[in-house]
Structure 1
Amino acid sequence: MKPLVVLGFLGSTLDASKFGPSRWNKWRPSVGLTMHEDLRVDRFVLLHGVQHTRLATYIAEDIAAVSPETRVEPHVIDFADPWDFEEVYGKLLDFARAYPFDPEAEDYLVHITTGTHVAQICLFLLTEAHYLPGRLLQTQPRRGTTEAAGTWTAIDLDLSRYDSIATRFAAATAESTSFLKSGIDTRNAAFNRMIDEIEQVAIRSKAPLLLMGPTGAGKSQLARRIYELKRARRQVKGPLVEVNCATLKGDGAMSALFGHRKGAFTGAVADRPGLLRSADTGMLFLDEIGELGLDEQAMILRAIEDKRFLPVGSDKEVESDFQLIAGTNRDLAACVAQGSFRDDLYARLNLWTFALPGLADRREDIAPNLDYELDRHAEREGDRVTFNKEARERYLAYATGPEARWPGNFRDLAASVTRMATFSPKGRIDLACVESEIARLKRLWSGNQVETDQLADLLPDAALATLDPFDRVQLAHVVATCRASRSLSEAGRVLFIASRAQKTSSNDADRLRKYLARFDLSWAQLT
């Protein structure tokens, strides 16, 4: 059996007694819980205020007398006001985060009989939220007797019959949600609801998560925050292993993911554990999972379901228990229909799917993210840079307006802030710097690539995937011309000006209408 550790407050009233033989005829909760033959306590973490140090020493001596195998560890936590809920919860949360719990090696009981009612409630909430990785312990005197041991009951909060009383402290939930958003006070209601859902799933489920969204939408950052949240709650203890599947090509993909044995192929001069093995007891983030080949997909599915896989060149399977987060900017359902992604793997990943919107769809979040990027620059460069009022208002007016396209999403925003901060050596971004940056962004976004990105608003992913790059650029130019023209005929005259000069086309509007129809588009849709 694992060693048993009890954590609880010293009872300044219930544990107190006169020194002498009569104290053994009184039920004292902290002493009594170590007197049961069916409850062997190996270690007792005794929480108390500095003013009760003498009583704590006294109780530790009595525990040593009745239970020599129990090691008492006094731990001082002082409260300015032990009835202040916020202070008590905050200090106990700090204690829980700092204490070296090891649930793999020890079992824990949290004693909630002693301490103020506020302290008892906070211990309950921290245990229910898994900051304290154990069960609750209640003790009470045996009525009608002078027996010093009393009785004890352990409560497992994971049991469904306690669901009606298991209420999460609102501040803890808000803190977790803010953690996933890197502390950014985002304002987009849909995004905030999605983050709330991800927070609940991350804490309560070990199933794979699928993060979808365009490049630069923040999938990698969110995956890291999910890992850090679970690690802070001691739900994972291994590392976070990140891999961009787009970089895994050819025969090396199998070796990188699943490892290989020495001599498995030319160049395999030593055993290689592989990325899946390295993620054991931790998390594996497979970004751009849609880029993997079908063979790799099949082995990933086996590794998810059975926690086992076969390294390259080995005749013996290895084990790795990890939680998977997958990221993609592709429509995996369309990829399944095209045969480039396995339907069984997609079904396994599709339990928890979250689509991250691009920056252009969250323009109200640009202002708080602007402050976040300035903070990141300060941490990275050791140089705090701020906007003056006029410059900030001008930049946000452009950044949140229709001209700003943000094709690279948050990567574009981060690069923009870095440029402005770099060109502001005195620590203040002024209006001239902002105007220069706006002009630079307009130049960067003026190419055909930006126009082709706009096709995503018009065509489904499945249709886009069937377009050759040549057709995509041509269609993007046609769309841009239509949107800049006052009528279908005018757009046709611009697009077919050479044909008109050679008199090879008699009806520009009809010709353009037929061209758009090839892509199930109409003039009305574009204008």
Structure 2
Amino acid sequence: MPKKKTVVIGFLGTQLDAGGGAGRWEKWRPTVSMTQHEDTVIHRLELLYSPRHEALAQGVQRDIAMVSPETEVRLVAMDVQDPWDFGEMYGVLYDWVRAYPFRPETEQYWAHITTGTHVAQICMFLLVESRFIPGVLVQTSPPKKQTSADPGSFALIDLDLSRYDVLAKRFEQEQHDALAFLKSGIDTRNQRFNALIEEIERVAVRSRAPILLTGPTGAGKSHLARRMFELKKSRHQVKGGFVEVNCATLRGDGAASALFGHTKGAFTGAAASRAGLLRAAHEGVLFLDEIGELGPDEQAMLLMAIEDKRFFPVGGDHEVTSDFQLIAGTNRDLRFDVAQGRFREDLYARINLWSYTLPGLSQRPEDLEPNIHHLLAKAAAETGRAVRFNAEAKVRYLEFAQSAAALWSGNFRDLSASVTRLATLADGGRISLAQVDAELVRLKWLWQRQDGGASAAGGVDLETLVPESTLAAMDLFDRMQLEAVVGVCRQARSLSEAGRKLYDRSRSKRTVVNDADRLRKYLQKHGLNWEAVSARGDRSAERAPPRRERLLGAPVVRPRIHRLE
């Protein structure tokens, strides 16, 4: 079997590799020295450098061609504005590594960590440790006595060796602690949610770019934003505070003043200057909940503040600055608002670099139990009184909570209120079956009122989905069953999720489980498909165009928005 070729990946050392004239050969230069070892052949060198050091990179390339003609030097320009910014450096290097055509079957890779900023070296270490670079680290050292003939030495560091297990375990433990912190210590079981939090953890500690959190009201956007800030604070990544504002509470002329501040006398009643919330978030985190409620003027001003870190206060002639990280939240589909002209497309593009949709509680039934335990522990810490379910009461509550009949329309707010009521009324520290039954009646009543008197399994207008002749031939039993199925579909985000809810008992008795296929065939039997039944909410607005459009007689063209899985 032929010996593998050696490929070195390393940064240009703007100080260590520098030098001009004949005297440069009397100086130890780590990148050049890699190719000067007689018993080691470097077949290819991927030399990463900033475009502003183009001349130095070309000089090193020429010198290596003189001492090691067999070494191919590829110059890789990386436009990094701030080489000490971890998020920017890691992002650029990560993108390059993911696109690089590694061939480990014919090549071995050495990541050179002697040159580059400390941040670049750390990024290189992380990429090797995570196996994105399938190789080892190489560290070069100068000779004890500097001579042109002595290239010094180098050492290979294989992160797979057992002596680095302690470091790897410490790294894993730190990440595990960060994930647990973001989840408030709740051992969630939903795989998609856990994967979501894992990515959010990486982004939170590596990037200062805006983050957009979407999802239904009560899904935990505000809570997660604050935990992200506290995580960054613990890593000394922010100096300022956490500033939270619900944009739905900002109305009229006071909206711009609250966000961007105003000068004295800017408008009637402005007796003194006001700094505004953006300046209050300087060097910290600004959480704008319900960002879709901002008016067009505030959206334009916010875009400038995000991109340039500067803006004009209301009534001001001089710009002010504020360096904050933005986390935005919304329960609306901003893509639809952009298409309708209600939200600026350029602002949406700017805040949508990192976008995460938090699932509602009904979409995470397996997480109900650990969240209930968390809420009971929290109540015990606040009141000094421990409360538990008795066995039958716990089974009854969880069966209902995880069923299709439980809307959880208020998400964790509904669950928190429910557990609080049970814990408060529990005698002797035990939640009884009778208390649970009473609480379930209350929840059903609550959701019926919020849903206009319709439960999750009812209130579906089948006449808009099924031909009248077909409905006329259906038994009442079949019609009610179909209404219930469509109701569950409209509460679910995907065909698979709806299938899991509908077949939550019988699925455990089947050798081959395909809930989505079973539901698809059921719908097809009635001439329906997922696209027809999954749209949620009142469609009367689509059937009846706005008054102005009706008067003009113009056709109404509305984009179809599909939720991404």
2:252 is equivalent to residue 250 of structure 1: yes
- For residue 219 of structure 2, give the secondary structure of its aligned residue in structure 1: coil
Q: How does 1:278-317 map to 2 (within 5 A)?
A: 278-317=280-319
> Please, which runs of 5 or more residues in structure 1 have no aligned partner?
1-102, 104-123, 130-137, 145-165, 456-474, 495-515
The answer on whether the counterparts of 1:236 and 1:281 sit within 8 Å (CA) in structure 2 is: yes
Paired residue total = 333
Match of 2:210 among 201, 208, 211: 208
Residue 142 of structure 1, CA deviation? 9.1
Alpha-carbon distance in 1 for matches of 2:463, 2:456: 9
* 1:119-134 correspondence to structure 2 within 5 Å: none
Out of 159, 172, 175, the position equivalent to 1:173 is 175
Shift of 1:482: 8.8
| Alpha-carbon displacement from aligned partner over 1:263-299 (angstroms, at most 9, x marks no partner) | 1111111111100000000000000000000110111
Contact 1:482 1:491 in 2 (8 A): no
Q: Which of 464, 471, 476 lines up with 1:488 in the alignment?
A: 471
The aligned residue for residue 219 of structure 1 is 221
- Distance change (3 Å), C-alpha of 1:478 and 1:317: same
Find the counterpart in structure 2 of residue 466 from structure 1.
none
- 8 A Cα contact 1:482 1:488, kept in partner: no
Show the counterpart of 1:268. 270
Contact preservation (8 Å) 2:405, 2:455: no
Measured at CA, do residues 304 and 492 of structure 1 come closer, stay the same or move farther in structure 2, by a change above 3 Å?
farther
Mapped to 2, the partners of 1:307 and 1:193 lie a distance apart of: 32
Match of 1:380 in 2: 382
User: 214, 229, 232: which one pairs with 2:231?
Assistant: 229
- For 1:312 and 1:280, the matched residues in 2 are separated by 18
RMSD: 3.9
Deviations 1:326-382 (A, max 9, x none): 000000000000000000000001110001110110000000000111122223333
Please tell me whether residue 478 in structure 1 is matched to residue 480 in structure 2. no
Q: 1:363 to 1:486 in 2, by over 3 A?
A: farther
Aligned identity (percent) is: 57
Equivalent residues of 2:448, 2:454 under 8 A apart: no
Q: Which residue of 1 aligns with 2:360?
A: 358
| Corresponding residue number in structure 1 for 2:412 | 410
Structure 1 position 330 matched with structure 2 position 332: yes
Cα deviation, residue 207, structure 1: 0.3
| Paired AA for residue 219 in structure 1 | K
How far, CA to CA, are the matches of 2:215 and 2:310 in structure 1?
30
* Rounded Cα–Cα distance in structure 2 between residues aligned with 1:230 and 1:348: 21
Which range is displaced more, 421-430 or 232-241? 421-430
Aligned to 1:400: 402
Distance of 2:215 and 2:341 partners within structure 1: 21
Residue 237 and residue 491 in structure 1: after superposition, are their counterparts in 2 closer, same or farther (change >3 A)? farther
Deviations 1:72-116 (A, max 9, x none): xxxxxxxxxxxxxxxxxxxxxxxxxxxxxxx9xxxxxxxxxxxxx
TM-score, scaled to structure 2: 0.53
* Runs of 5+ unmatched residues, structure 2: 1-84, 86-120, 127-138, 146-166, 478-526, 538-565
**TM-score normalised by L of structure 1:** 0.57
- Aligned-partner Cα distance in 2 for 1:312–1:217: 34
Work out the CA distance in 2 between the residues paired with 1:363 and 1:320: 42
**Partner amino acid for 1:217?**
A
Quote the residue 2:240 is aligned against. Answer: 238
- Call closer, same or farther: CA 1:248–1:171 in 2, change over 3 Å: same
Matched residues in 2 for 1:276 and 1:200: separation? 25
CA–CA distance in 1 between the matches of 2:389 and 2:257? 49
How far apart, CA to CA, are the structure 2 residues paired with 1:386 and 1:493? 42
Query: CA–CA distance in 2 between the matches of 1:450 and 1:242?
Result: 32
The alpha-carbon deviation at position 448 of structure 1 amounts to: 5.8
Tell me: CA distance 1:143–1:482, structure 2 relative to 1, closer, same or farther (3 Å).
Answer: closer
Alpha-carbon distance between aligned partners in 1 of 2:456 and 2:326, rounded to the nearest angstrom: 32
Decide whether the 8 Å contact of 2:245 with 2:289 is kept in 1. Answer: yes
Counterpart residue identity of residue 262, structure 1: K
Structure-2 separation of matches of 1:450 and 1:403: 15
* Paired amino acid for 2:257: S
Looking at structure 1, the residues matched to 395 and 460 of structure 2 have their Cα atoms a distance apart, in angstroms, of: 33
**Partner of residue 440, structure 1:** 442
Rate the CA distance shift 1:387–1:281 in 2: closer, same or farther, 3 A. same
C-alpha deviations, 1:422-458, integer Å up to 9, x for none?
1114221111111111111111112362678979xxx
2:263–2:314 Cα contact (<8 Å) kept: yes
